[in-house]
Structure 1
Amino acid sequence: MDRARRRFAIALAAMAGFIDAVGFLSADGYFVSFMSGNTTRLGVALGTDVPRAAMPALLIGGFVAGVTLGALAALKAGTRRKLAVLALVALCLLEAAGARAVGLHGAMLAGLVLAMGALNNTFLRDGEVAVGLTYMTGALVKLGQGLAREIAGTRAEWRPWALLWAGLLAGAVVGAFLQDRLPLGCLWIGAAWAMIMAAVAVRLPAEA
């Protein structure tokens, strides 16, 4: 991945962290992008308090639906798939911001989880996700492997993975800060962020 796309990926990971922090604080500790955490909460609920399984189950289903919609948008858009995917993300975030403004909590969470699912179709290679933007376990594994090779004396690319993780963390800090101080405005900021990223995607070289 070239330098421009690396910076682009970091900015998108920061956006994902921003939205996930807002969602987490709005959904009683559930996640709109981290489905491993929701799966664990689903399992705990199924084992201890079945009615509480509805929320994580719905969020997981919404995330998968978002991934599916994003993948379809990418397939239809061809070489401009980044633009198509990010336009879809922006639309979902605009819906979420509007739903929050009129007090529709469930519709807000639906827009957030659809957006985060769709976002993971931004970087594809042979139809598969090349860079996960809303989850960092893979990035941290690659970071650790790169550090091991560096310690062993072999030059390794570990810094991009550290920066990707740092981007998500920084976005989450900003999202939590604004959710606490600007609850009705932070999702409009997230939607504007997605639109800016879509505009940046237009300037990136077209992909085959």
Structure 2
Amino acid sequence: MIRAQRAWTGIALVAAISFLAGMTDAIGLRLSGDFVSFMTGNTTRAAIFFVDGNWGHGLVLLGAIALFVMGNALGIVIASIVRRRIFGVLAAVSLLLSFASILDQPQLGVLRFYLVVLAMGVVNAAVEQIEGLPIGLTYVTGALSRLGRGIGRFIMGDRRLDWSIQIVPWSGMVTGALCGALIGGAFARESLFLAAVFAMGIAISSLFIRKTLHHRYNQRPASTSRR
């Protein structure tokens, strides 16, 4: 029963955090013209900018990719040193988005873009897996690939349905992106702050999750798992 409750709690968290990621991605794309979590797209665009001679923007995108990686690393550090991992990670995301929201001067556009990218890297450490199944929060290509492979295995006779969980992050991302597009269009200056408030709302909500349901959402270091 605890395992089932833990799984359903994890699914709810993934849906909420993926919604946050989709909303922030849409807002960030509206504000900067570049992706804040889709690093595959930024990699391809950076290559095109370099070939076209636009080295400045290409370097900006390479910087974003590096910051996204650093954000993922920072998220793991935060998740490892705070007692309530999900709260700590999402509170950090909220602070980064809040800081980015006040940088609305045109000359600070790149810095704001980088802060949002960093936040989207950090958020991936909030939930890494549900009962051993890998989950991506800010990107859905992997989720859709796992979903498709699961469907293929089902067609070939494997009746396990654990792959169906991969529809959750995609659903959260697309609904969040729709919401973010609407918010970004209607409240451009306040949109990042609204995303920050939503992130803090999820963080505070995570504090009410019972301790028995609050673990096994993060991968443990190999040295810890062998103890």
Instruction: Give TM-score scaled by structure 1 length.
Output: 0.89
Structure 1 residue 170 and structure 2 residue 175: aligned? yes
Q: Say if 1:67 and 1:121, in contact at 8 Å, map to a contact too.
A: yes
Cα displacement (A) at 1:18 = 0.4
8 A contact 1:32–1:109 mirrored in 2: yes
8 Å CA contact 2:136–2:169 kept in 1: the answer is no
Correspondence 1:207 to 2:215? yes
Amino acid in structure 2 at the alignment position of 1:98 = I
Q: Distance in 2 between matches of 1:156 and 1:112?
A: 35
Mean CA deviation greater in 182-191 or 147-156: 147-156
Structure 1 CA distance for aligned equivalents of residues 146 and 26 of structure 2: 24
Between the aligned partners of 2:52 and 2:196, the Cα distance in structure 1 is 37
SS in 1 for 2:84: helix
How far apart, CA to CA, are the structure 1 residues paired with 2:56 and 2:194?
34
Instruction: Give structure 1 stretches of 5+ with no counterpart.
Output: none
Cα shift at 1:163: 2.4
Residue number in structure 1 paired with 2:51: 47
User: 1: CA distance between counterparts of 2:74 and 2:45?
Assistant: 25
Distance 2:11 2:56 in 1: 42
- Is 1:133 paired with 2:137? yes
Give the aligned residue type for 1:190: A
Aligned partners of 1:80 and 1:138: how far apart in 2?
27
74, 94, 97: which one pairs with 1:93? 97
Q: What is the rounded CA distance, in whole Å, between the counterparts of 1:43 and 1:67 in structure 2?
A: 23
Moved over 3 A (4+): none
Question: How much does 1:93 deviate?
Answer: 0.8
Partners of 2:31 and 2:123 in 1: CA distance: 20
Alignment gaps of 5+ in structure 2: 1-5, 217-227
Deviation, 1:113, is 0.8
Secondary structure of the residue that 1:99 maps to in structure 2? coil
- TM-superposed CA distance for 1:135, in Å, is 0.5
Counterpart selection for 2:71 from 66, 75, 81: 66
**Residues 183-203 of structure 1, C-alpha deviations (whole Å, 9 max, x = no match):** 112112100110011112212
Secondary structure of the residue aligned to 1:190 is helix
1:190 aligns with 2:198: no
Paired position in structure 1 for 2:124: 120
Q: Hey, what does 1:23 align to over in structure 2?
A: 28
Aligned residue number for residue 181 of structure 1: 186
Q: Post-superposition shift, 1:35? A: 0.6
Residue 115 of structure 2, aligned match among 111, 135, 150: 111
In 1: Cα distance, 2:156 partner to 2:134 partner: 26
Q: Secondary structure at the match of 1:2?
A: helix
Deviations 1:109-164 (A, max 9, x none): 12211110100111246xxx942100111110111122223333423223321122
For residue 99 of structure 1, report the CA deviation from its aligned partner. 1.6
Alignment TM-score, normalising by the size of structure 2: 0.82
Fraction of identical pairs, as percent: 33
In 2: Cα distance, 1:52 partner to 1:155 partner: 46
Aligned length: 203
